[in-house]
Structure formats: C-alpha cells, structure tokens
A = this chain, B = another copy of it.
Amino acid sequence: MSAPVLILVTRPVEVEPGAEPGEASRPFRLADVALPQLSVLDLGVTRGDGVFESVRVGPSGSPDLEAHLRRFVVSASLLDLPAPDLEVWRQAFAAAVSEARRRGGDDEVLGVKLVLTRGIEGRGVPTAWVLAQPAPDHTAVRRDGLAAITLDRGYRHDAGAASPWLLLGAKTLSYEVAAAATREAARRGAREVVFVSSDGFVLEAPTSSVVMRFGDRVVSPPAEVGIIAGTTVTRALAFFAERGFETAEERIPVSRLARADAVWLVSSVRQAVPLTALDGRPLHLDATLTAALNAHLGT
C-alpha cells in the first residue's frame, strides 16, 4: 500500500476580485504527510471548526466528485466559512490523484479527503488540504455484511429545520458523537449504528446513509430529518429504480425499520454494506443484489 499523498491548498476559497494574490499565488502544493503541517492554534483542531468530504476514486475515476464538491460548498456555507474555490479544489484533487496513481498504480482504489478549516484563530485565513490514500479493502464487509444497533441521536427529526445552528446537514470536523456511538456499538457486540431521532425516525449511520428494502420498495430518509444529504445514496436508489424497484426518500419510523427486508449502509469509499442483524434481529442478506449494487457504485 503506497504512502498517502498530501496536497496543501493555499488558496482554497474565492478571492475578492482585485485582491492581491499575495504569497499564495500558487493555489496548492505537494507536502510531506509524515511531517507536522498544522498549528495547535488551528480552529480545525481546537473547535472541530471546519468541513470535509471523502471521495472514492476507482480505476475509472470518481463519478461523484461534483456531488461531493456541491455538498462541500453547502457545508462551508452552513458554517459561514468563505466559499471554496471549486476550480482550485478540482485541480488539487486531480493533482493528488495523479501523484497517488504515480506511486501506487492505476488500479488502486483511493479514498480522497478534502478538508477546509477556519484556520488559526483570529487570523481569518482558512487552512485546507487534500489527502489521497489507498482505500482500506472493504471487500469482505461488503460481501458478508455486519451487525448494527439503533441508537438515539437525541434530536427530534425536525430539530435541524428549527435550529440551523445545530448544523445537522453539514459535514463538519466535529464528529466525536459519531465516534462515540460506534464505540458504544462495539461494546454491544455490533460494528455499526443506525441513528434514530428522539421521536422515533430513522436518520443515518455515523459515516454512511441508510437504505432500506420493504418488498419491492427501496427507501432512504430525506435530508429534512436532519441528516447529511448522501452523495452515494442517490446512485444507490438509481440502481434500485433501474432494477424495477419503487424508490423514494421518506421518513421511516423505527417500528417500520424493524420490519425491513434488507438494510444497507452506503457511503462513498466503503460503498454498500448489507446489515446482517439490527438490534439482534437477523436480517436477510441478498448476496447477488448486494454484489450488483456494489458493482454499480464502483464504476
């Protein structure tokens, strides 16, 4: 497995017309991931104050890149960060992938992370980077699935709409609750979590979206319940629609989730992982359908 490629993005946000380009006229540069690159004063670490995206790059590219970039812009806007200069990010992304390909070959599947923080406190200059790494091999878990539990996310399904400062739709660096929930799952003998709202609706998993099959219907919760709008879930629903399933985004009560015929957690880098059990109840795993779904997502 080749070493991660780090690109520091020195001009990550849109510059006012007429502003001096200054020192950072080169918009990004390759850096050494083995060396420290961040200040302890960076609000990204002291406050989890920043946004990110994780993008899969397969042998044939990254069909979701533009969807990720659109969500990156939305996340930054929800945090009142300056607008990312997408042309710079596209170039930095391409440079990171190109360098990773040079090191690891064209067939390696990559996970590429885009990060934008508010930068050093008081300075008003964001910190930004692109990190391209060989993706972990998720083959086994995609095929064999894993067990999940439901955990209460603590918010009502309408909290995000009523209280935008909760940032429920933003993909921020403040991810500690997701990590803590995953550790709670491990304590209960499971590997994954399906978050549910305090008023009993299915939300999302810590790092993926939830797709449920009920007979010939396949559904996923809408962003309006206070979750991050999935990029991969859109392509997953398209896959099911092409196969003749009825698909929809709709609010699913937990009581209905308990009767699902199948559940997948979908995300960009890990793709679709079938659940083998939910809260101890075994779930049917359709190996053929799951393999086809992953083949579709992996193009």
User: Which residues of A approach B to under 8 Å, CB–CB?
Assistant: 4, 6, 33, 35-50, 52, 78-80, 113, 115, 117, 129, 131, 151-156, 159, 162-167, 172-181, 183-184, 198
Interface residue SS majority, chain A: mixed
The distance from the CB of A126 to the nearest CB of chain B, in whole angstroms, is 13
Across the interface, name the chain B residue whose C-beta is closest to A6.
B40
Q: In the complex, what residues of B have CB within 8 A of residue A176's CB?
A: 47-49, 79, 167, 172-174
Taken together as a complex, chains A and B put the C-alpha atoms of A183 and B79 apart, in Å, by 9
Decide yes or no: A47 and B175 within 8 Å by CB, A33-B39, A37-B39, A163-B154 being known contacts: yes
The count of identical subunits is 2
Across the interface, name the chain B residue whose C-beta is closest to A131.
B40
Q: Are A42 and B45 in contact (CB under 8 A)?
A: yes
The distance from the CB of A31 to the nearest CB of chain B, in whole angstroms, is 9
**In-complex Cβ contact of A38 among B4, B36, B159 (8 A):** B36
Across the interface, name the chain B residue whose C-beta is closest to A118.
B179
Q: Are B47 and A44 in contact (CB under 8 A)?
A: no
The distance from the CB of A45 to the nearest CB of chain B, in whole angstroms, is 4
